[in-house]
Amino acid sequence: MKTVLLSCLLFTVFNVSGYNNLKIGDPRSSWWTSPGTIEKALLTVRPKGLFMEYGLYLTFSSRGSNWTNPQDTVEVTLDFDLPENAILHDSWLWIGNDIIKAKIMDKWTASSIYENVVKRRRDPSIIMKQSATQYELRVFPMAGNQTRKVKITYLMPTTWNKSQVSSKIPTAIVNTSYNKPASFPVVAWTDTTWTNPQVINDPDLSFVAKSDTTFGDFHEATIPSSKYNNALSIGFDSPLVNGMYFSQYQKGNEGIYQLALFPDQFIQTHISKKAAILIDYDASNTQLTSKELLSIVKNELLKNLSSTDSFNLLFSNLSIKRYSEKWVAASKTNIEAAFAGLTNPLSSYSNLGALLGNGIDFIIKNGNDGKIVLITDGSQYGGFQVANTLTNDLIKLMNPKIPIHISDYQSINATPYYYNGQTYYGNDYFYSNLSRMTLGSYHKVLNNLSISEAIYGSLKYLGGSINSFDLHTSLKSGFCYSRFTMTSESDIAYVDEAILQVGKFKGEFPFLIEISGEYNNQVFSEMMEIQKPAGTDNDTLSEEIWAGQYIKKLESSTQSNDIINEIIYSSINERILSQYTSFICLEDTNYICNNCVDESQITTRVKTWIAGQDSMTVYPNPFAERLTIELMCTNSTEVKELSIVDVTGTLIYRFSTDNLQKGKNIITWNGMAATGERVKPGVYMLVYKTAGYSKSIKIVRK
């Protein structure tokens, strides 16, 4: 029995990121279940500042189970995990061709309704938040020969560096399917702030510009089933200006702001970083190929080092290989050249001890003022005796100690060791002690990190930290309040890590940002002033972003009746799932959503705009407060019409075309009709006509 339990535990720890599982069964007759199938999956992505809005479409079936007959009736249960800062704010269920939009209510009422509905064989779905990161979706009934379709809408937290903003793609959810869908399309919507979508961690996948007659222009990447085990992310070019991003959503003189900044932009003294990058590869401990690993390492160096920094590459092999015998300037050209010139530098086995010794030797011979970033999946030093001996031998080589920052990407076959009341996996014990004794750091994918995040975790330490860090925001004529800073440590900031904050404000711009702290034993304080036009307008989802952080804070505090009641009130008021509420869809005509836009029906074709041809793009679509129209004109004098009409063709609003220019034009619409009244939620058409070109795009006000 102990052997079986240990095997199950190891499978859970080393084969999934969090807990993701799909099963089907008949809840009225037996507790027995079998794996379920996802027939189709599609993800839509829209950047929303510090978060990305994900729309995850899933179509379930019983294919491959014992329940495949028309008379069979089963329940679908999907357990899935999301990052702690994720904010789930909507759920849809298809009943025939109708979309049912979920109602949010307290968990006890929702669960009671769901269970009663299951007994009556009506058509509900329910989503519950089981913990800070764990969720459960249940759908009933599904006939054995039919499918059920749902959409889960949530805000994903982002990771920022100076060149890219990224979020994880939920391949782990799609990978729960017994029969894997052949592909997983990811549709990205861009605008003037968020551009150039990319698939991170896989050089073979990329986004392609496409267009749809209804939804307009977008970008799409198709992830094949062979990649579902990979930790993939979607990234956009960073919108930072001088190391900072700022946006606001405002009603009158009150609003919500989102802020991202890198502290090194505010520190006057710049210290160049020197990093010896040690790369160790054991093919038996990872699902990555050596090619994929090197591509990930290269991308992280490009994103996190600059031409004023220095680097070198050292590779584990029978004899250790160095890219250079001297420090190399970390310019983009040099980093690209270093990896382009590689020919099988890595063995398929680890030579970790020799690699570390060689890295220490390189630093000592080249000024003794660099740091080591060890990227490894080695596991041969898990026993405390060999770990302690190697640690002591390495420390003896150093004078002074050389900080060693470790990124451990071992994801399979990690042997457990139990020392002093604690369980270590693989080289855990060795890495923990070595990083601590050298004043370095330790990051591992088994802590639910992607390999990119583990490497970034090491690189961010190279510039050092700011102690007693403080970030204060205000307005010149007003104040800020209810701020939430999304970092793990409140009083320490790392020079090369973005500070992310969302908060409320009241008053008039300019907006004031002050950061202070102690860096390299020197106290500093710097202030920046932002004029309102310099910021980026956001939409109503800013309210959900702030409320999500507020609810998270309440959930992490000591629970009392007052706290629970406040969580339930805020959750229902803002339509944000909490641990005390649920989203439930019911077979009720009152919940049919006629304005919900099914983006999974997108029909794609490669975008083929001909040079010299007019084009039109709109975003966001659907929109709540403001629609942006990006219009490319070859000859503005030939424009005959730019207008909004309803589905019957009745004119709602006509734009002036007098000031259009050749080339790109940015036009905004605030949702107001020509009569001065705001249009009702629904479907409209944006019509554009010239002497030789016409196009109409369906737009939706939600």
How large is the average pLDDT for residues 469-477? 92
Pairwise pLDDT comparison (637 vs 323), residue with the higher score: 323
- pLDDT of the residue at 265: 79
Answer whether 512's CB lies under 8 Å from 485's CB: no
Give the helix/strand (H/E) hosting 294: helix 290-304
Q: Which domains does the chain have, with CATH numbers?
A: 19-237 (2.60.40.1730), 244-267+465-538 (2.60.40.1230), 274-459 (3.40.50.410), 609-701 (2.60.40.1930)
> Whole-number mean pLDDT of the chain?
88
**How does pLDDT run across 344-379, given as a tens digit for each residue?**
788 999 999 999 999 999 999 999 999 999 999 999
Pull the structure tokens for residue 178: 């017994």
Q: Is the pLDDT at 513 greater than 50, yes or no?
A: yes
Distance of alpha carbon 59 from alpha carbon 151, whole angstroms: 9
**Distance between start and end Cα atoms, the chain:** 55
**What are the backbone dihedrals phi and psi of residue 592, each rounded to the nearest 5 degrees, phi first?**
-65, 130
**How does pLDDT run across 204-254, given as a tens digit for each residue?**
889 988 887 777 788 999 999 999 988 899 999 999 988 899 999 988 889
Q: Is the pLDDT at 13 greater than 80, yes or no?
A: no
Distance of alpha carbon 622 from alpha carbon 670, whole angstroms: 13
Tell me which of 68-82, 131-145, 313-327, 673-687 is least confident.
673-687
Distance of alpha carbon 564 from alpha carbon 398, whole angstroms: 54
pTM of the model: 0.78
- pLDDT of the residue at 603: 64
Output 264-269 pairs: Cβ under 8 A, ≥24 positions apart.
264/463, 264/495, 264/496, 266/515, 266/524, 266/526, 266/528, 267/466, 267/495, 267/519, 267/524, 267/526, 268/524, 269/519, 269/520, 269/522
Indicate if the alpha-carbon torsion angle 676, 678, 680, 686 is positive or negative. Answer: positive
- pLDDT of the residue at 11: 33
Task: Give 311's pLDDT tier (boundaries 50, 70, 90).
Answer: very high
- pLDDT of the residue at 266: 78
